[in-house]
Structure 1
């Protein structure tokens, strides 16, 4: 039988991580010892960056509370916004994480909707309304997690 809803719907997962194979990616718009940022090839707004840890972490569901990498991702987000959009109002920036597989009962769980199974923070500037509502929806916590809420939980050592 199917081990998850993802398997039931035939969602394919690559065993290779394209974010770990950096040679296949565009040049970073930012990089330090822990993370790098690239332009998303499928823009959901005027600018759309992916901020990615160099260490492979599958998704936010696999993080421990208090994980320092979340703070570093947030620092890079602030740096990029200051460098490219220094006067942008907060309401014109949409950022967060797609949710990974979460068990419900036994081996059944909520679907894993992540396209790349390597933790990455989406930072979307002047988002396109239709994508913000349906692909990156703050209103659907089963699918999307606001990065500020995730960071706050990590800082207070609650589960992310």
Structure 2
């Protein structure tokens, strides 16, 4: 997707503060953090939303959760706790139509969210 901001970040056309990268995913600091630790984890494959996932994408999604665990440990939030959030659709707050996961930590969170 030529107009997707996350695809442009993956290609290096838009700078980001990278936290982690491998052949399947990229993680970088959110530019509008909602917590002391707030990073995004995105697949390098363009997938518009959770509704667009296929069986073939299951390996990528599982990998994202393993990467989130690694990043949480690296950033020192694994012991006290962290939240992983994925929004799907406009009413859920998805503003970029490229599947992405918010890894949030460094403070207490309330339940229910939103």
Do the structures match in fold with TM over 0.5?
A: yes
2:62 equivalent to 1:71: yes
2:7 equivalent to 1:16: no
2:19 equivalent to 1:29: yes
Give the greater-gyration-radius structure (CA). Answer: 1
Shift of 1:133: 3.2
Paired position in structure 1 for 2:106:
126
- 1:89-100 paired onto structure 2 within 5 Å: 89-90=80-81, 93-100=82-89
TM-score, normalization: structure 2?
Answer: 0.81
Residue 100 to residue 89, structure 1, CA distance change in 2 (3 Å): same
TM-score, normalization: structure 1?
Answer: 0.59
Provide the C-alpha distance between the structure 1 equivalents of 2:42 and 2:78, rounded to a whole number of angstroms.
24
Q: Deviations over 1:40-67 (max 9, x none)?
A: 0111101101001111000111112571
The SS at the match of 1:19 is helix
Contact persistence 1:44–1:127 (CA under 8 A): no
Consecutive unaligned residues in structure 2, runs of 5 or more:
none
2:44 equivalent to 1:57: no
Residue 72 to residue 21, structure 1, CA distance change in 2 (3 Å): same
Provide the C-alpha distance between the structure 2 equivalents of 1:49 and 1:87, rounded to a whole number of angstroms.
14
Q: Deviations over 1:11-67 (max 9, x none)?
A: xxxx82000012213131110000010000111101101001111000111112571
Provide the C-alpha distance between the structure 1 equivalents of 2:95 and 2:106, rounded to a whole number of angstroms.
22
Q: CA RMSD in A?
A: 2.4
Give the total of aligned pairs. Answer: 108
